[in-house]
Structure 1
Amino acid sequence: MLDTAILIGRFQPVHSGHLALLREALARARQVIVIAGSAHQARTPKNPFTWEERAAMLRGALAPQEAARLRVLPVRDYYDQARWVAAVRAAVAPHVQAGARIALVGHFKDASSSYLAWFPDWQLIDLPRQGDIDATRIRDAWLGAEAGDSGALDATLAPLAAHLPDATRAQLQALAATPHYADLQQEWRMLRAYRAAWAGAPYPPVFVTVDALLRCQDQVLLIRRAQAPGRGLMALPGGFIEQRETLWQSCLRELAEETQCALPEAQLRAALRGVAVFDHPDRSQRGRVISHVHYFDLEGSGPLPAVQAADDASEARWVPLAQLGAMEPQFHDDHFHILDHFLGLTPPL
Structure 2
Amino acid sequence: MKRNTVAAVVGRWQLVHLGQEALLREALSVAERVVVVLGSSFKARDPRNPFLHTEREQMLSAALSPEERARISFVPVRDYYDDRRWNAAVDRGVAAAAGPDAEVVLVGHLKDHTSYYLNNFPRWRQHRVERLADVDATAMRRVYFEADDPDAAVQVMAPYVSAPVRAWLQAWSRLPEYRRRVAEHASAQAYLKKYTAVSYMTGDALVTVGDHVLLVRRKGPFGEDLWAIPGGHLERGEKLVACAIRELQEETRFPLMAASVLAALSDVATFEDPLRSARGRLITLAHHFKFSEMPTLPEVLGSDDVKEARWFHRDELSAMEGVMFEDHFVILDHFLGVIDEAP
TM-score when scaled to structure 2? 0.95
Alignment of 1:252-331 (within 5 A): 252-331=245-324
Q: By how many angstroms is 1:85 displaced?
A: 0.1
Please tell me whether the aligned partners of residues 37 and 76 of structure 1 are also in contact (alpha carbons under 8 angstroms). Answer: yes
Question: Deviation per CA, 1:103-157, whole angstroms, max 9, x where unpaired?
Answer: 11111011110000101111111111111111111111111122xxxxx222222
Aligned residue identity for 1:94: A
SS at match of 2:157: helix
Aligned residue identity for 2:210: Q
Counterpart selection for 1:228 from 211, 221, 235: 221
Q: By how many angstroms is 1:303 displaced?
A: 0.6
- Who is 2:173 aligned against? 176
Q: By how many angstroms is 1:207 displaced?
A: 0.5
SS at match of 2:335: helix
Task: Determine the C-alpha separation between the residues in 2 that align with 1:98 and 1:186.
Answer: 45
Q: By how many angstroms is 1:75 displaced?
A: 0.0
Question: Deviation per CA, 1:187-211, whole angstroms, max 9, x where unpaired?
Answer: 1111111212245xxxx42100010
- Who is 2:30 aligned against? 28
Counterpart selection for 1:110 from 102, 112, 116: 112
Q: By how many angstroms is 1:99 displaced?
A: 4.3
- Who is 2:50 aligned against? 48
Task: Determine the C-alpha separation between the residues in 1 that align with 2:274 and 2:258.
Answer: 32
Q: By how many angstroms is 1:68 displaced?
A: 0.5
Q: Does 1:69 align with 2:62?
A: no
Q: Structure 1 residues 97 and 182 mapped into 2: Cα distance closer, same or farther (>3 Å)?
A: closer
Q: Does 1:163 align with 2:173?
A: no
Task: Determine the C-alpha separation between the residues in 2 that align with 1:179 and 1:99.
Answer: 45
Task: Determine the C-alpha separation between the residues in 1 that align with 2:60 and 2:244.
Answer: 44
Backbone CA RMSD of aligned residues = 1.4
- Who is 2:183 aligned against? 186
Q: By how many angstroms is 1:323 displaced?
A: 1.4
- Who is 2:194 aligned against? 197
Question: Deviation per CA, 1:197-245, whole angstroms, max 9, x where unpaired?
Answer: 245xxxx421000101011131111111113221221111000010121
Question: Deviation per CA, 1:7-34, whole angstroms, max 9, x where unpaired?
Answer: 0000011111111000010011010000
Runs of 5+ unmatched residues, structure 2:
none
Aligned residue identity for 2:304: D
Please tell me whether the aligned partners of residues 10 and 108 of structure 2 are also in contact (alpha carbons under 8 angstroms). Answer: yes
Please tell me whether the aligned partners of residues 154 and 170 of structure 2 are also in contact (alpha carbons under 8 angstroms). Answer: no
Q: Does 1:125 align with 2:157?
A: no
Task: Determine the C-alpha separation between the residues in 2 that align with 1:305 and 1:167.
Answer: 54
- Who is 1:346 aligned against? 339
Q: By how many angstroms is 1:295 displaced?
A: 0.5
SS at match of 1:223: strand
Counterpart selection for 2:89 from 82, 87, 90: 87
Task: Determine the C-alpha separation between the residues in 2 that align with 1:296 and 1:174.
Answer: 46
Task: Determine the C-alpha separation between the residues in 1 that align with 2:156 and 2:213.
Answer: 48
Task: Determine the C-alpha separation between the residues in 2 that align with 1:281 and 1:193.
Answer: 19
Query: Identity, % of aligned pairs?
Result: 44
278-287 vs 55-64, greater mean Cα deviation: 55-64
Task: Determine the C-alpha separation between the residues in 2 that align with 1:122 and 1:56.
Answer: 27
SS at match of 1:191: helix
Aligned residue identity for 1:331: M
Number of equivalenced pairs? 340
Task: Determine the C-alpha separation between the residues in 2 that align with 1:165 and 1:142.
Answer: 14
- Who is 2:145 aligned against? 143
Task: Determine the C-alpha separation between the residues in 2 that align with 1:66 and 1:189.
Answer: 37
SS at match of 1:114: helix
Task: Determine the C-alpha separation between the residues in 2 that align with 1:220 and 1:111.
Answer: 37
Please tell me whether the aligned partners of residues 252 and 303 of structure 2 are also in contact (alpha carbons under 8 angstroms). Answer: yes
Task: Determine the C-alpha separation between the residues in 2 that align with 1:103 and 1:304.
Answer: 53
Runs of 5+ unmatched residues, structure 1:
147-151
Question: Deviation per CA, 1:152-174, whole angstroms, max 9, x where unpaired?
Answer: 22222212113223342233223
- Who is 1:149 aligned against? none
Task: Determine the C-alpha separation between the residues in 1 that align with 2:7 and 2:301.
Answer: 52
Displaced runs of 4 or more, over 3 A: none
SS at match of 1:163: coil
- Who is 2:150 aligned against? 153
Q: Structure 1 residues 198 and 304 mapped into 2: Cα distance closer, same or farther (>3 Å)?
A: closer
